[in-house]
Chains A and B, each alone.
Chain A
């Protein structure tokens, strides 16, 4: 078995005109793009990009299979790509790989409202799937800020999390089946539609979160929940972070099963988000340093409102100093917009920003922000970088962001931050994945034996290392 050396660049074949012609023969003229490929070769952050000789866009699983077969024979490296909204550079070439885009595979194959199962092609945009499911009183079990551009195939390949993780769990749970094209072109059809199927190894789990390094997902079968008729969103402010933690405890206790999202943001994040959207602050002048967004989804308006008011009465006696409840659908959207526009607003305030997506014990959540700020104040000087935090506090997932116009923030934080997390049993990447950005950090969150096992599997399914090489491992 050949060992894959991480530091040695795998020698792949350079793409030639013959190869491009071969691709055109498989996917048709329209299916191949060679000019103006920036949309595919650069990531959403504008941070990662590589030379891309061709973008190949198959329309069927058979075409995907033919493309992979050809690339495997010719040893051409391939980067599978869906919505290209990833944040760790996993969906773009590092230099010389072709992009295999599933953007033409946008069919919703079938919807079964009784068993609540939907079968879709990998290129279906998340928002489109949501719109379709709404007509059947169903909803997608995940929701993230990129939903207007990301595709379900990519979500599954990266095991995307999002704001509904708290309520609906991970994709490992919601994906019932899939169809995958292996690096050598073999089509593996595992499109099971049943919630219970204990027949052999559950191979689809390997591909969920594999970030396009083990196979190209072409179809996904999802178990989807029913929509809830009653939705409430509350936006609460506390003076201390401990207040937020206590309020979360109260929410879990008094709202119980109707809680669907618990999101955190500090005032800085809210300020930047509102600056970007130009919307007024939901709390007017009654601001607070720490905010908690609580969403409930249930089947009975009156019951839910009663629970919510009971919770709020108690919470206001304890740590909540200011807050509001959305009075209708539009206000609910506005409150969510505050949270959803945080990431996109950072570009307005700094051009050398660094972002980290970490998992850590909830009690250490804000300490991470404070310690990181202290470190950068020492290393760079005060005022040179603004460290802010927001994220899925209900899942212990912090999005730590450094807003700065000064280069070099990352150097002062790596590996310091990873070590800080490891001591506390945290994860270097809660939901964004490894991609190309966190390859060197993988060892902080996975034991050597686990990493070796990953490499064995990788080299077994992709001996020529043509599928998304240089990513993850």
Chain B
């Protein structure tokens, strides 16, 4: 009888960001975004974690490692990822000042550095973080590691031999399916899945799963900022609209008030 080849270990690395909670109304104080508000895992990172979990449940992925770069409190998002099913985490801890000034290229470089140790087969990330909306990191990681990227993923299939994946992406005029060899970076979009609720037993177990802490300042990455924030302000409040009685009044208002005619 032929012996079945053992499935090779496949490791999914999920990058998660600890951001201002999606439900908080962001306010600007003294030219800076008020950050002393409730934080939680970036919603797109939840989708990324769920994507990795689905593959683990299907027996495709054997280990999930959650990674975050943030201040001490960011560990909460790692605990959440582990409550959802990640096996262990890596917490790259920075001082608040370091984190405040952190730029996306630097974040991408941290991931590239971690790849030496983690050797992820698939890097799952949210398509963007809801605090800065940069949408840079997955693409930059792909370039730095010289591996393929499947961004804005709305669908994912892993080949039977686990050497490649098919990513269906949402694009402006529809969807596009790309095939790419592993390792690869997948950035997850809204329609990829609905993140699960962590069950109580898993929430309790998550407290005991290992978190490997590393110092951001010791990662050997140049943290000098290249971007300077010139101004930060609340958007102008939308003014109420008004009704006009007839076309003449409309033209009058467009000419004399809005001054567009």
Q: Choose, from A60-68, A282-290, A346-354, the stretch at the interface.
A: A282-290
Contacts of B22 in A (CB 8 A): 328-330
CB-based contact A284/B199 at 8 Å: yes
From A322, A327, A330, A333, B198 is in contact (CB under 8 Å) with: A327
CB-based contact B197/A330 at 8 Å: no
Given contacts A283-B199, A284-B196, A325-B203, contact A330 B43 (CB under 8 A): yes
CB-based contact B198/A316 at 8 Å: no
CB-based contact B194/A316 at 8 Å: no
Q: How far is the CB of A248 from chain B (nearest CB, A)?
A: 17
Q: How far is the CB of A2 from chain B (nearest CB, A)?
A: 51
CB-based contact B21/A328 at 8 Å: yes
Name A274-326 residues within 8 Å CB distance of B. Answer: 280, 282-284, 286, 301, 309, 312-313, 316, 320, 322-326
Q: How far is the CB of A228 from chain B (nearest CB, A)?
A: 11
With A and B bound together, what is the CA distance between A333 and B43 in angstroms? 14
- Taken residue by residue from 2 to 26, chain B's Cβ proximity to chain A (1 for < 8 Å, 0 otherwise) reads as 0000000000000000000111110
Name B15-63 residues within 8 Å CB distance of A. Answer: 21-25, 38, 40-41, 43
A229 within 8 A of B: yes
Contacts of B204 in A (CB 8 A): 309, 312-313, 316
Contacts of B196 in A (CB 8 A): 280, 284
Contacts of B201 in A (CB 8 A): 316
Residue of B nearest to A234 (CB): B200
Interface size on A, as a range, is 20 to 34
Given contacts A280-B194, A330-B22, A330-B23, contact A324 B203 (CB under 8 A): yes
Residue of B nearest to A237 (CB): B200
B154 within 8 A of A: no
From B25, B41, B194, B203, A328 is in contact (CB under 8 Å) with: B41
CB-based contact A322/B200 at 8 Å: yes
CB-based contact A323/B200 at 8 Å: yes
CB-based contact A327/B83 at 8 Å: yes
Contacts of A335 in B (CB 8 A): 197
Name B188-212 residues within 8 Å CB distance of A. Answer: 194, 196-201, 203-204
Q: Report whether over half of chain A's contact residues are helix, strand or loop; otherwise say mixed.
A: mixed
- Taken residue by residue from 333 to 359, chain A's Cβ proximity to chain B (1 for < 8 Å, 0 otherwise) reads as 111000000000000000000000000
Residue of B nearest to A320 (CB): B200
A107 within 8 A of B: no
Residue of A nearest to B200 (CB): A323
Contacts of A301 in B (CB 8 A): 38
Q: How far is the CB of B103 from chain A (nearest CB, A)?
A: 26
With A and B bound together, what is the CA distance between A323 and B203 in angstroms? 10
Residue of B nearest to A316 (CB): B200
With A and B bound together, what is the CA distance between A335 and B194 in angstroms? 14
Contacts of A235 in B (CB 8 A): 197
From B23, B80, B194, B197, A283 is in contact (CB under 8 Å) with: B197
Given contacts A229-B38, A312-B204, A324-B203, contact A329 B197 (CB under 8 A): no
CB-based contact A324/B197 at 8 Å: yes
With A and B bound together, what is the CA distance between A331 and B21 in angstroms? 11
Pull 6 A–B residue pairs with CB atoms less than 8 Å apart, ordered by A.
Answer: A280-B196, A282-B197, A284-B199, A301-B38, A323-B199, A329-B21
Residues in chain B within 8 A of chain A (CB atoms): 21-25, 38, 40-41, 43, 80, 83, 194, 196-201, 203-204
Residues in chain A within 8 A of chain B (CB atoms): 134, 229, 235-236, 280, 282-284, 286, 301, 309, 312-313, 316, 320, 322-331, 333-335
